[in-house]
Structure 1
Amino acid sequence: MKNHLDGPFVLPARDIVRKPGEMREHALTIAIPERWGEGIVYIDKGENLDIDVRLESVHEGILVSGTVETEYVGECSRCLQPIAESVEVEFQELFEYPGDETPDFVLQDDHVDLETLVRDAIVLSLPFHPVCRPDCPGLDPVTGDVLTESSGVAQDPIDPRWAALRELTETEPASDAGLSREEN
């Protein structure tokens, strides 16, 4: 049977509990046990998280603050090419002492469990529309091919009702068009 205080995200705080002003710092590298994120980008199972965390004793509980660095993978939302980017997120939360109220985070048996806190901070920081580069032109809407800088932006298809007008402008030289207007 697994104890709820087992795991790489659980840190002891016994030596600073109810001692306001006391502080402990930890540097952790943890491989995540499952994929985090359900969107077009995610943190893959087994990816390492580099966590620098500080536990500070305050009157209400243990204040946990720190940063986490990792890498997300997925697809560009414009051209669907694979992407991998690093992400760094700051987090801070108060783990309150057990009491009558039911706060979001509670100090359990003088330990803090960082997993939910770190996972939420990372997943909420993932881009909603990730791109491989800021000026990614995307896909050609007709062929589905990846557009490049040389191919430019795809032209919108011409409404067949206006096609005859386009033929006129393409065949008539600009200088002739100017003369015919002046003659009228």
Structure 2
Amino acid sequence: MALNARLDHRNPLVFDTHELGRRPGALQRLSRTIDAPKDLGIQGVIGVPEGAPVELDLRLESVMEGVLVTGTARALAKGECVR
């Protein structure tokens, strides 16, 4: 992404880190459910249907280089055997 690009704060996968602070070691936990975006998976093989719920449990940590995000995402994927 270009440095001058603007993030769309309406996108459910964009998180506000303003409250996190910039001191390394500052920590924030987030849990939320979002609608699956289009094309989440491998086209024609397996994926999460667009609009299906995706549960996010995230940990945002301020580090020297910026913000480190780790966590899990849970969703029901649908697919077919491709053998």
Using the size of structure 1 for normalisation, the TM-score is: 0.38
> Would you say how many aligned residue pairs link Structure 1 and Structure 2?
76
The residue aligned with 1:47 is 52
For residue 77 of structure 2, give the secondary structure of its aligned residue in structure 1.
strand
C-alpha RMSD of matched pairs (Å): 1.6
After superposition, the C-alpha distances for 1:5-50 in whole angstroms (9 at most, x for unaligned) are 2221121111223211110000010111323231411211111111
The residue aligned with 1:22 is 26
Q: Please, which of 62, 74, 87 is the counterpart of residue 67 of structure 2?
A: 62
Structure 2: gaps (5+ residues): 1-6
Cα distance in 1 for partners of 2:51, 2:68 equals 28
Using CA pairs under 8 Å that are at least 6 residues apart, name the structure with larger relative contact order, 1 or 2: 2
Cα distance in 1 for partners of 2:76, 2:32 equals 16
Q: Which has the higher strand share?
A: 2
Using the size of structure 2 for normalisation, the TM-score is: 0.78
Runs ≥4 in structure 1, deviation > 2 angstroms? none
The question of 1:7 aligning with 2:23 is answered no
Q: Please, which of 35, 54, 63 is the counterpart of residue 31 of structure 1?
A: 35
Structure 1: gaps (5+ residues): 79-184
| CA-CA distance at 1:65 after TM superposition | 0.4
Question: Would the aligned equivalents of 1:17 and 1:62 in 2 still touch at CA under 8 Å?
Answer: no
